[in-house]
Each structure stands twice: as structure tokens, then as C-alpha cells.
Chains A and B, each alone.
Chain A
Amino acid sequence: MNSLLLYALAGVGLFTLGLYALIVHAHLLRKILAINVMGSGVFLVLVALGGRTPGGAPDPVPHAMVITGIVVAVSATALALALLLRVQAKTGRTRFPEQGNIILKEY
């Protein structure tokens, strides 16, 4: 097993760990962090698999993809955090309601 494959498998591990945390944890901040961990896992897979030939120059295209992905992840996290603050301000809670009744209001 070469080191690049090890990195790729670590990426898959991170992804799975994040997915587990996303499902298990109720706190919304933990869910947002879990999504970020999953994202890092995917980026690690992309970069690790970019080194196709051992010892040769790595493929630059996955790196460009990861940079784009990071930009997307940062914006998504910012939106998620802003939403979290609004949810907390409005409901006083930082988790999803158990069985929410949906109230529709015209504003």
C-alpha cells in the first residue's frame, strides 16, 4: 500500500466519520462541523488521488477542484452559521424540534 492510497483512505474515513456525526448529533453547530469534516474528507481524496504516478509531478486539476470546493465550503459554512444564529434568536434553541408543527404565516 503506497502512502497516497493511505491518504485517500483517510479521506474516506473522514467522510464516513462526518456522516456519522451529522446523523448522530442533534446540536446544529455539530452538524455544521460534521459537514465540514465530510468536505475535508472529499478534498483529501481528490488531492491524494491526484498523485497518479509515484514520484512524478502530481496532477494539478484536482488541486484546482479542491480550491473551488474550499470556496464553496466556506460560503456554505458562512450561510449555515448565519442561519444558526437566526434560528437561535428566533426559537432560543440550537437543534431541530422533535416533531415540528409547521405554521405558515403571511408576512
Chain B
Amino acid sequence: MGTAVANTPWCVMVILLPLAGALVSFLWPRRSVPLGLVTALAVPACVAGLGWQVAEQGVQRYAVGGWGAPLGIDLYADGLSLLLLLMTALVGLGISVYSSGYFERKTAAVFWPLWLFLWAALNALFLSADIFNLYVTLELLGLSAVALVALAGGADALIAAMRYLLVSLLGSLLYLLGVALLYHSFGSVDIAILAQRVEPSPAVWAAVGLMSAGLLLKTALFPLHFWLPPAHASAPAPVSALLSALVVKASFYILLRLWLEVFPPSDAAVGQLLGVLGASAVLWGGIQALRQARLKLLIAYSTVAQLGYFFLAFPLGTSIAWKGALYLLLSHALAKAAMFMAAGNILRCCGHDHIVALDRVAKRLPLTLTAFTLAGISSMGLPPSGGFTGKWLLLDAALYTGQWWWALTLILGGLLAAAYVFKVVGYAFTPAEVSHEVRVVPVRMEWTALVLALAAVLLGLGTPWLLALLDIGFPFDSGYAG
């Protein structure tokens, strides 16, 4: 048994399984829901298998079809990719359970293949060992995400999807041009080989600029975030959840890999610039979230703000800072999925999501409101949530490197988050002037939101274990062992 687990190529299974699930549920639309759920249960099991392999045997490298690195495609799994795979598996399972209650049959037949394709693309992206394969997976991810946004069918959703598609394609093409320049300069697209050969030259700096610009556009870093709120807010609730929780993290992951392993060490000014943009995102996103009249837009702007935190690690640059950013990324995935699910429940129950008219939601949907509040606690960064651990690590790094102004951003961002979360919670307790008819929300939709929010809050308790996981094949500069 032990050897069977040890010898199975789990990294291939992790990609093939959702891909197969997508195809089968596409071919058999009437059974798409049970097929999708079975796949959604099997993928986390495979990720667990891979996790066991990585924990026991260290970093995994698998040559697909037996063709090695220069010619064929390699899959690569270290602590960082495993962490993101685990995050995707957990949130993905939650989204799958939620969706099985959310969609009616006709839409479900379209949703499941697209969602499983997206899942396969995400897993493939996190396991890619070369920058061209990353481009292909990024495009697969983008195309399925756009189709999922359009699923809502309304004029606004279609326009948001169109804008999202154009932005996504532009980002990918910028990235691809960078890949072309890097390949020309060093004759390889493999990340490990590039890491050895790369040396500064004008072509490399052009590639760094192009690839970073494309990825920042896709990650929606302020001021390139304009496409995100409409796309994330007008999609169906489970799609909003998976876009905000998972899809934006994919391009950030690529940026992180390239920045840490491929790009030559650049001027400190570049890191500072990214940090300033991140801090602006935190403040601007927070203020915009506070100003929104609609719950889903509020949550979408909160994503813009939370994405900003990840970029605070670039000017700090110590290993503690990177770990803090990744911890925030993980807890944001759980919390934001829970928030969008809660918003979906409220939308289903009340038929609208005007914040001022949240008519006694606290009484009608107590579980949902609890989920929203718990997720909010993680976004604010209160202990023992994962958000707290992440911010604490970043704070630690900011003070250690003597850059106290980033610590100020963290505190202001937390206050803004508290303000917009309590704005929603406050209205949820007060009766509105005009009472609306309410619709029943399926139990599983309430519980999945709650479980994910609880996971985000309890994430802070797993800190030692998760940080040890990140140390496997640790690609970060060791700043200091705090």
C-alpha cells in the first residue's frame, strides 16, 4: 500500500482527473452534478497523495511521457505549489458542494464542465515547471473563467465577460512576448535551467517588464484593477467565489515564481514600486468597498484591497515577508469564497443585494451572516484567523527591515476592512422600510459558506505546520530565521 502511494504519479492524476471529469460531465449533461461532485471529492484525495509524496520524499519532478526537460514537459511540485494545490482543493470542494445547490439543471450542465476545466487548468498551472507551459495553462484558465462569468447571461455579465476576456488576452500576450525574449536569450523555457543561465541584459529587462506587466494586469493590482469588480460582481455567486478566491492567485503565483527564481535581482526601486502599488490597492480598494451600495461589489472591491497586501512582500523581500504574503493569500482564498457564497445566499433569499435594504438577514439567514462575519474577521486580520498570522508576519518583516510605513498600511487596511464588514453586519440586523418576499436557501449553501469561513478563522492555528510545508524546496531568499 505504502509503495503504491509512493509510486503513483500523483501530479499527473491531479491534472488528469478534473480534465476527465470535465469531459465526461460535458458528454453526459444529465448526470453532470453527481459526476462533478465525485470528481470534486477525488481531486482533493489526489492532492493529498501528492502532499504525502512531497512531505515524505521531498520535491517532486515528473517528466510527462518520459520526455525530459529541454524537449518535453516537466511537472514540478514543491512546498509552494503544494500549498496552492491544497488551497484550490479545499476551496474547490466547497465551491462544488455549494454549486450543486445553486444552479438549476440547465445551467448546471454548462457550469460543471467549465468549472472542472478551470480546476484542471489551475492544477496544471501550479505544477508547471516551464514558462511556456505556464502561458498555456494561463490561457486555459482565462478562457474557462470568462465563459463562467458569461454564464449569468445578463447584459452586464456579458459586457463584464467581454472586458475580462480582452484584458486576459492582452495580459497573456504581453507574457508570451516576454517568454519569446527569454527563450531567445537563453535557449530554454525551463524555470530551473533559466535560473542558472539568466544574466542581466536589455532583452532580459524587456522580458521582465513585459511579463510583469501582463501578470499584474491579470492579478488586478491597482491601478490595473478596473476590470475586476464588474467581472467578479456580475458572475453567479459560485463563480464569483472561485474567481476571487482562486483565479487571481494563479497569475500572482507565476509572478512570484519568476520574481524569486528566474528574474535577475533587480533594483530595490522596483520592489518599492510594487509595494507602493500594493499599499495604494489596500487603501483605494478599502475606501471603494466602503462606498459601494451593493454587497457583491463591496466584496469585489475588498478583493482589490486584499490583493494589495500580497505585494507588500516585494519591498520587504525577507523570507518571513514572503511567507506572510502567502499566508494572507491562503486565508483570503477561504474567506473570500465564504463571503461571496454568503452574498449569493442573501441574493437568493432577498432577491437583491442592496446593503441598506438587507432586511433582517441576521434573523432569516443566521448561518450565512455568521459565515460573512467570520470571513470578515479574517479579512480584518483579527486572531486567531489566517489573516492575522499573515499580517503579523508582514508586520514583523516590516519592522525588522526598518520600513515601518508598510506596517502603517497593514493597520489602516485592517481598519477599513472592519468598517466595511460592520457596515454590512449593521444593516443585516435592522429591518428595512419595505419588506420583501423571501425565498428558501438550500441548507448546503449555508453550511459550505460557514465551513469555509470557519476554516479561514482557524487557519491561524495551523501556522507551524503550513510554514514547515513551505520550507520544502523553499525558493525564497532566507532573510532571517524568525
Contact = CB atoms under 8 A, between A and B. Distances in A.
Contact of A91 (B146, B153, B159): B159
B169 interface: yes
A35 B160 CA distance: 17
Given A90-B155, A96-B162, A106-B348, A46 B180 contact: yes
Interface stretch (B40-48, B93-101, B170-178): B170-178
Contact of B183 (A15, A32, A49, A68): A49
B353 interface: yes
A6 interface: no
Interface in A38-52: 38-39, 41-42, 45-46, 49
Interface string A53-74: 0000001011001001100100
B233 A102 contact: yes
A59 B189 CA distance: 13
B143 A105 contact: no
A35 B156 contact: no
Nearest to A84: B162
A42 B176 contact: yes
Contact of A107 (B153, B187, B233): B153
Contact of B351 (A46, A61, A103, A106): A106
B174 to A, nearest CB: 9
A75 B170 CA distance: 15
Contact of B147 (A46, A79, A103, A106): A79
Most buried by B among A39, A103, A107: A107
Contacts of A79: 143, 146-147, 165
Most buried by B among A35, A41, A91, A105: A105
B154 A87 contact: no
Contacts of A72: 136, 139
B91 interface: no
B233 A104 contact: yes
Contact of B156 (A39, A62, A103): A103
A101 to B, nearest CB: 8
A107 B154 contact: yes
Contacts of B146: 79, 83
Given A35-B170, A46-B180, A79-B143, A87 B136 contact: no
B123 interface: no
Contacts of A68: 132, 136
A89 to B, nearest CB: 9
Nearest to B70: A61
16 contacts: A38-B170, A39-B173, A49-B184, A59-B187, A65-B183, A75-B143, A83-B146, A86-B150, A87-B162, A90-B154, A91-B155, A96-B159, A102-B156, A102-B160, A102-B234, A104-B347
Interface of A: 15, 19, 22, 28, 31-32, 35, 38-39, 41-42, 45-46, 49, 59, 61-62, 65, 68-69, 72, 75-76, 79-80, 83-84, 86-87, 90-91, 96-97, 100, 102-107
A-B pairs, 9 with minimum CB distance? A49-B184, A90-B155, A46-B180, A72-B139, A87-B158, A91-B155, A45-B180, A35-B169, A42-B177
